């Protein structure tokens, strides 16, 4: 129920306008926004529809949130802006939001993760105590953003235990947080805290980085031509073959990752070279056909193929690098899958351009590691799967 001042505005048509009592117009407006596409397609109709939705009262919030299900990213931005406009105006006028409906929407994990995260923000604004209690039961939520908040709550509790000199309690809470965390930086922070408490974490196993590779190179990248050049490993992977490289014959060699965050460091076998390109190949065995993400981190120019199909590439050098920097949706086939990575190093000689490496892991859509069954292990890790 909205406040007295807001009711007066509705009477004079300043809130709700023509939307009041006309759900079909609301549905049409949401449909127009959901139709927006790249390169400005549908923007004019979406802008007009947004004005109608943004002028609505609190009763319009649930249809908008439900309209976010299966919407594309552009439509999600438009719809979120409409929610922000409505809630800001309603609450600013002393009105209220539908607490029960918002709570039920949050608890229904079938809804769009971004819509549920937005819903949680609304709940927090109007009933922070209830929202906080609900969050405690969402450590394994399918929304990565809500899960992040739930894990962060446990991390905060662990910090409180440390401040009270309860190291055992803090250790248990950090471990609970680690079991549910899926955000790479959050996992790293927890691992560091556990390390300080005498409980070192095997980050290679925890993240599920690919560690056993075959590498070959270097090939030429003068003039930065390596990104587009098609060298023999892109045409056919023949581990017994020998090719003409940048400075003589090159052949495949074994490379086993030891760095705790899974980096395949081309400087180790080849030296700190410039104007070069190299390849890394790994076999990944899956017990079934399944949708996954290949997640790469690196600051060099690179391309990734799965079973000879190019997934993605990025021709940039020496930007910041982080775990899971580039998630790539992919489809594993049952049995053997071949992952090929091209990584290029450019001509720059500054100290901060020395790195020539990448890291890669296979995960589900939440970031839970999936391991190759060729290792004799199943496809889960020590991280509990929801």
pLDDT in tens, 50-83: 999 999 999 999 999 999 999 999 999 999 999 9
- Residue 103 has phi, psi (to 5 degrees) of -65, -40
Q: Which two tokens stand for residue 24?
A: 């079909």
Q: Which residues make beta-bridge pairs with 310?
A: 305
Helix, strand, or coil (residue 383) = coil
Question: What mean pLDDT is reported for the chain?
Answer: 89
Return the minimum-mean-pLDDT range out of 71-85, 208-222, 371-385.
Answer: 371-385
Here the CATH number for the domain that contains residue 151 is: 1.20.58
For the chain, the domain total comes to 3
Which of 316, 298, 317 is closest to 359 using CA atoms?
Answer: 298
* Residue appearing with tokens 């090159």: 250
CA distance linking residue 170 with residue 248, whole number of Å: 56
pLDDT tens for each residue of 232-288: 999 999 999 999 999 899 999 999 999 989 999 999 999 999 999 999 999 999 999
Question: What mean pLDDT is predicted for residues 346-373?
Answer: 94
Write down which residue in 162, 180, 201 finishes a domain: 201
Rounded percentage of the chain residues whose pLDDT exceeds 70: 91
CA distance linking residue 49 with residue 60, whole number of Å: 13
Does 185 lie in the same domain as 231?
Answer: no
| 340 contacts 289 by C-beta, under 8 angstroms | no
Question: What mean pLDDT is predicted for residues 39-45?
Answer: 89
Residue 3 pLDDT greater than 80, yes or no: no
**What is the sign, positive or negative, of the torsion defined by CA atoms of 97, 98, 100, 101?**
negative
pLDDT tens for each residue of 274-290: 999 999 999 999 999 99
Cβ neighbourhood burial of 307 (10 Å; 0-12, 13-18, 19+): middle
CA distance linking residue 129 with residue 104, whole number of Å: 16
The single-letter DSSP state of residue 50 is: H
Listed in sequence order, the DSSP H helices in 55-109 are 61-67, 73-92, 99-107
CA distance linking residue 55 with residue 318, whole number of Å: 46
Does 340 lie in the same domain as 220?
Answer: yes
Does 107 lie in the same domain as 186?
Answer: no
Does 227 lie in the same domain as 360?
Answer: yes
Does 352 lie in the same domain as 233?
Answer: yes
Does 332 lie in the same domain as 253?
Answer: yes
Question: What mean pLDDT is predicted for residues 295-305?
Answer: 96
CA distance linking residue 238 with residue 254, whole number of Å: 14
pLDDT tens for each residue of 311-356: 999 999 998 888 999 999 999 999 999 999 999 999 999 999 999 9
**385: in domain:** no
Write down which residue in 118, 135, 152 finishes a domain: 135
Does 228 lie in the same domain as 345?
Answer: yes
CA distance linking residue 339 with residue 57, whole number of Å: 52
Does 318 lie in the same domain as 235?
Answer: yes
pLDDT at 279: 98
pTM score of the predicted model: 0.73
| 194 contacts 171 by C-beta, under 8 angstroms | yes
**380: in domain:** no
Angle between helices 128-135 and 99-107 (to 10 degrees): 10
* Residue appearing with tokens 């009763």: 59
Residue 4 pLDDT greater than 80, yes or no: no
**325: in domain:** yes
Does 159 lie in the same domain as 57?
Answer: no
Which of 336, 369, 324, 358 is closest to 205 using CA atoms?
Answer: 369
CA distance linking residue 264 with residue 284, whole number of Å: 16
Does 213 lie in the same domain as 184?
Answer: no
pLDDT at 378: 39
Residue 17 pLDDT greater than 60, yes or no: no
Which of 132, 126, 160 is closest to 146 using CA atoms?
Answer: 132
Q: What's the Rg (C-alpha) of the chain?
A: 26
**237: in domain:** yes
Residue 380 pLDDT greater than 80, yes or no: no
Write down which residue in 201, 227, 242 finishes a domain: 201
CA distance linking residue 311 with residue 328, whole number of Å: 7
pLDDT at 377: 41
Q: Which residues make beta-bridge pairs with 357?
A: 265
The single-letter DSSP state of residue 14 is: S
**383: in domain:** no
CA distance linking residue 223 with residue 219, whole number of Å: 13
**382: in domain:** no
Here the CATH number for the domain that contains residue 367 is: 2.60.120.380
Contacts of residue 375, defined as CB under 8 A and 6 or more positions apart, other chains included, come to none
Does 63 lie in the same domain as 80?
Answer: yes
**57: in domain:** yes
Using the CB atoms, write b or e for 65-80: b if 16+ within 10 Å: bebbeebeebbbebbb
Structural domain that includes position 354: 207-375
Q: How many other C-beta atoms are found inside a 10 Å radius of the C-beta of residue 343?
A: 25
| 1 contacts 96 by C-beta, under 8 angstroms | yes
**340: in domain:** yes
Does 128 lie in the same domain as 15?
Answer: yes
């Amino acid at each position: 129920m909205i406040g007295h001042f807001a009711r007066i505005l509705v009477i004079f048509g300043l809130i709700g306008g023509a939307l009041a009592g006309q759900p079909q117009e609301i549905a049409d407006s949401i449909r127009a926004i959901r139709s927006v596409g790249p390169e400005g397609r549908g923007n004019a109709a979406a802008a007009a529809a947004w004005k109608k939705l943004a002028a609505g009262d609190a009763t319009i919030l649930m249809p908008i949130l439900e309209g976010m299900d299966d919407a594309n990213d552009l439509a999600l931005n438009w719809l979120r802006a409409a929610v922000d406009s409505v809630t800001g105006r309603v609450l600013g006028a002393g009105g209220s939001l539908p607490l029960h409906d918002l709570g039920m929407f949050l608890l229904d994990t079938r809804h769009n993760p971004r819509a549920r995260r937005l819903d949680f923000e609304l709940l927090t604004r109007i009933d922070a105590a209830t929202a906080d209690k609900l969050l405690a039961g969402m450590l394994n939520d399918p929304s990565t953003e809500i899960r992040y908040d739930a894990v962060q709550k446990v991390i905060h509790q662990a910090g409180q235990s440390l401040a009270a000199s309860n190291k055992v309690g803090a250790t248990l809470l950090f471990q609970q947080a680690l079991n549910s965390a899926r955000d790479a930086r959050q996992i790293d922070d927890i691992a560091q805290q556990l390390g300080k408490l005498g409980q070192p974490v095997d980050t290679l196993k925890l993240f599920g980085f690919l560690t056993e590779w075959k590498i070959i190179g270097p090939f030429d990248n003068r003039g930065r031509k390596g990104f587009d050049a098609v060298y023999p490993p892109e045409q056919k992977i023949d581990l017994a073959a020998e090719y003409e490289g940048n400075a003589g014959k090159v052949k495949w060699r074994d490379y086993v990752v030891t760095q705790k965050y899974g980096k395949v460091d081309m400087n180790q076998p080849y030296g700190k070279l410039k104007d070069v390109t190299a390849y890394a190949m790994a076999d990944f065995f899956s017990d079934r056909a399944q949708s996954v993400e290949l997640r790469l981190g690196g600051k060099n120019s690179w391309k990734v193929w799965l079973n000879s199909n190019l997934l993605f590439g990025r021709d940039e050098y020496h930007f910041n690098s982080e775990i899971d920097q580039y998630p790539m949706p992919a489809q594993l086939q049952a049995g053997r899958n071949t992952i090929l990575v091209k990584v290029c190093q450019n001509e720059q000689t500054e100290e901060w351009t020395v790195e020539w490496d990448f890291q890669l892991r296979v995960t589900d859509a939440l970031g839970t590691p999936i391991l190759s069954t060729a290792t004799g292990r199943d496809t889960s890790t020590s991280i509990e799967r929801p």
